[in-house]
Structure 1
Amino acid sequence: MKICVISAILPPYSRGGAESVAFVSMQAFSEHEVFAISAEPFGGWHSIWGRWGNLTRGKSRSLRVFRFAPINLFAIFNISKHNAIVRLLWHGLDMFNLHTYFVVRSILKREKPDLILTHNLKGLGYTVPAAIQHSKNKTHRPLWFHTVHDLGALHPTGLKIYGQENSFTQKMLLVSVYARLNAWLFGSPDVIISPSEFLLKEYQDKGFFPKSKTAIIRNPVISEIVSLSTKQPPPPFNFLYLGQMEVYKGVRLLLEVWKKFSATHKDAELVIAGDGSLKLEVEKAAKTLRNVRYVGFVDVVQKDEILSAVHYLVLPSLAYENSPTSIGESFVAGVPVIASRIGGIPELIKSGVNGFLFTPADLSALLAAMEEAVSVDYRQLQEGARKSAPIFSTEQYHDEVMKVYQSLIN
């Protein structure tokens, strides 16, 4: 069987967990022929026409990938550098990108995949669904499975912030028009895969995918952690923040809490890994606060090394998260998670079993969760995290996708 994975961003370019999931989804089907279509930064006119290359990461197998630079005001990799008005124009062109339509349709007609797995399409263009449908003919009708990763088709920012659910920026007419247009552009793929019940309901409530079959399949992760021998038994406890350096991720909240927590737990350490607009602020905090270490952006190998040495992952997000990839990565490493009770996170974490949940944006609640984390039987929580890991395996992902596929072709 031939499988095509379409994702706006793939390694070595990365903006978040969705890109990692798209890459891992390619690796999950090792018994099949797999290729990918993705965007790349503009690198001259030749990049507009695109080119075939190979995609590898770590010890993963090499896969074919076709990369091209969709014609737009700028590439998605640079979107954070532009103001709101320019981004708005970019979104409009991205939604109706005819260049992407013709490139993707041409490749699909030539390659003739049996199964098409799409992930985040923002940055390639929301004309990809039309390209998929128009690549079909009487003798070749591939099935199309689309995975939703965030709220990107509901809101241009892809964000819904705790406490701002009914704000003007969430309810304005332009946002409603944006969502309605995207619902029309996507239509109804054969199957919608959602890593969480939360995210699936968000889309269904807005009228998306009315005729699609749905499946809840957790995001797969690949870890190269062989053992946890480098981890010293607590105390002292080592905490990790792993993610983007942005306000909506709750980094500032965590740093405020750390001031109080480290005053009574002087040997505890907080490791912060990631990149973003708050990088300079975090670097400054690392120099002034007790036992805070900022390591910047980390690759897969570095991430595994850090996870093998920490005791807790902390996710203080203020945004409605779908299914953070870092939770699965932590569970695979036997690391319990302290996280905001928001979005799809409570579907993964059970307080006192594999981590702790706390009220978003609440300093005292996060502090209380961290205090409880250092007072309970850590080995019991660690075992709970390990037992939660199998649902994130590539084998589980493979089997569930193929089960749905077989049910449709039969």
Structure 2
Amino acid sequence: MVRIPWSNSYLPGPTHPPVSRPKRILWHLRNAEGAIAVKDVVAFFERERFDIIYAQSFARMQPAIYQAARQLKLPLCVHLRDYALMCPRTSMYRRGGNCRKPCLDCRILTIKAKCGDGEGITAISVSDAVRQTFRRHNVLAKAQWHTLHNTNTSLQHFNRDIVGRTRYVSSEFTLGYLGSLTEEKGIADLIRAFKSISGNGKARLLVAGRGRADYTSFLQDLAKGCAVEFLGYVPSDVIYARADAIVLPSRWHEPQARILVEAAVYGVPVIGTTMGGTPEILSQHRTGWCYDPHGQGNLVRLLRQALAMGPERWWQERDLNFPGIAAFKGTAEASGYYDRLEEILQSAAG
């Protein structure tokens, strides 16, 4: 690991304490100008004599990565897992809704990060939905595009004791949520839906993840009186070992949650929204149910359907209702992920 100085006031993230609006504005302006010095990146690239630059989660190192690669005439391959090149928040979600296009301040703050028109760049997206979003907004329009779903985790990193689960573990139907506790993730929608169907006492919701203290407190108040357990950060296999279904209630156009892949590897169906790249796994591979989060009662209807079956029947009929789970190629070995990635990088290197 090589560390390069990053000149800004704080590291952002969902667990970072709130800061004042002026401090946020200054942070974004500094980041937009470039918090990484091009000369530092050039020196690193020259020292290591790379044949190609493969950049992931690199938006906050822009425009230095792009400018250094161009200066040294190095091929650049960017792996896109969010919308950070168009939106400093990375989500294109603002004031309770999805942005139809990058707003003016986002366009200003990301103008240097966009890698020009993409000429000569190879771009990999984690879902076709991400690729379409970038192309629709004319970002990296001239890049050579590829899509690789998030099947890059080796089998050895999964808990083999529960890979390919086929049985329930409790007479109580258990729903699981894994992810950040933020508005755009839709966790409040899930809690409200769960409250409306959990009156018979035969269901439980496990919530694993962290968020800012004020929003977490709001969610805990919302869940009072219901069988909702807030577990904080726990290893994901703790949830996969107990849950009969995972719920992914995203409001935003989530590029592609790893949960979609992990859950299928563990044998657990997912109930997720039609937003972003989610249907590319759930609908196309038939590993779960999709619902439109804008339709009133859609999530409630699916939760009621699942709970009406009960854990025993749910698992007995899993392969009938979700026929793609048993044969799902969700590990790096089964999907040939790294062979495909190597082909893309070799082609990009020329």
Q: Pick the TM interval, shorter chain.
A: 0.7 to 0.9
Q: Can you list the C-alpha shifts for 1:277-330, whole angstroms capped at 9, x where unaligned? A: 2222334455x33321111012xxx21232122111101111111111111111
Q: For residues 204-223 of structure 1, what are the structure 2 equivalents within 5 Å?
A: 204-219=135-150, 220-222=152-154, 223=157
**Which residue of the partner structure matches residue 81 of structure 1?**
18
TM, length-normalised to structure 2:
0.84
**Which residue of the partner structure matches residue 275 of structure 1?**
210
**Which residue of the partner structure matches residue 58 of structure 1?**
none
Matched, 1:253 2:189: yes
Distance 1:227 1:235, change over 3 A: same
Q: Is the 8 A contact 1:117 1:146 kept in 2?
A: yes
**Shift in Å at residue 331 of structure 1?**
1.4
Question: What is the alpha-carbon root mean square deviation over aligned residues?
Answer: 2.9
Q: Is the 8 A contact 2:274 2:291 kept in 1?
A: yes
Distance 1:126 1:312, change over 3 A: farther
Matching residue's letter, 2:290: L
How far apart, in 1, do the equivalents of 2:56 and 2:208 lie? 25
Q: Is the 8 A contact 1:159 1:319 kept in 2?
A: yes
Distance 1:71 1:98, change over 3 A: closer
Matching residue's letter, 2:113: N
**Shift in Å at residue 108 of structure 1?**
1.4
Distance 1:199 1:241, change over 3 A: same
Size of the alignment, in residue pairs? 334
**Which residue of the partner structure matches residue 146 of structure 1?**
78
How far apart, in 2, do the equivalents of 1:329 and 1:358 lie? 20
Match of 1:397 among 304, 316, 337: 337
Q: Is the 8 A contact 1:334 1:385 kept in 2?
A: yes
Matching residue's letter, 1:388: F
Higher alpha-carbon deviation: 143-152 or 186-195 = 186-195
**Which residue of the partner structure matches residue 283 of structure 2?**
350
How far apart, in 2, do the equivalents of 1:156 and 1:290 lie? 36
**Which residue of the partner structure matches residue 226 of structure 2?**
290
Matching residue's letter, 1:106: A
Q: Is the 8 A contact 2:134 2:141 kept in 1?
A: no
Matched, 1:241 2:177: yes
**Which residue of the partner structure matches residue 258 of structure 2?**
325
Q: Is the 8 A contact 1:196 1:217 kept in 2?
A: yes
Instruction: Compare relative contact order (CA 8 Å, sep 6+) and give the higher one, 1 or 2.
Output: 2
Matching residue's letter, 1:147: H
Matched, 1:134 2:101: no
Say which SS state the counterpart of residue 2 (structure 2) adopts. Answer: strand
Q: Is the 8 A contact 1:221 1:394 kept in 2?
A: no
Match of 1:160 among 84, 88, 92: 92
Q: Is the 8 A contact 1:338 1:356 kept in 2?
A: yes
Say which SS state the counterpart of residue 73 (structure 1) adopts. Answer: coil
Unaligned residue ranges in structure 2 (runs of 5+): none
Q: Is the 8 A contact 2:123 2:145 kept in 1?
A: yes
Q: Is the 8 A contact 1:189 1:209 kept in 2?
A: no
Say which SS state the counterpart of residue 182 (structure 1) adopts. Answer: coil
Higher alpha-carbon deviation: 182-191 or 304-313 = 182-191
How far apart, in 1, do the equivalents of 2:126 and 2:285 lie? 23
Match of 1:304 among 237, 252, 256: 237
Unaligned residue ranges in structure 1 (runs of 5+): 1-64
**Shift in Å at residue 186 of structure 1?**
7.5
Distance 1:172 1:114, change over 3 A: closer
Matched, 1:107 2:44: yes
State the identity as a percent. Answer: 21
**Shift in Å at residue 189 of structure 1?**
5.3
Q: Can you list the C-alpha shifts for 1:161-203, whole angstroms capped at 9, x where unaligned? A: 4983468xx6643233345443355744531000111111111
Say which SS state the counterpart of residue 342 (structure 2) adopts. Answer: helix
Say which SS state the counterpart of residue 330 (structure 2) adopts. Answer: helix
**Which residue of the partner structure matches residue 191 of structure 1?**
122
Matched, 1:366 2:306: no
TM, length-normalised to structure 1:
0.72
How far apart, in 2, do the equivalents of 1:353 and 1:184 lie? 36
Match of 1:227 among 161, 164, 168: 161
How far apart, in 2, do the equivalents of 1:184 and 1:147 lie? 13
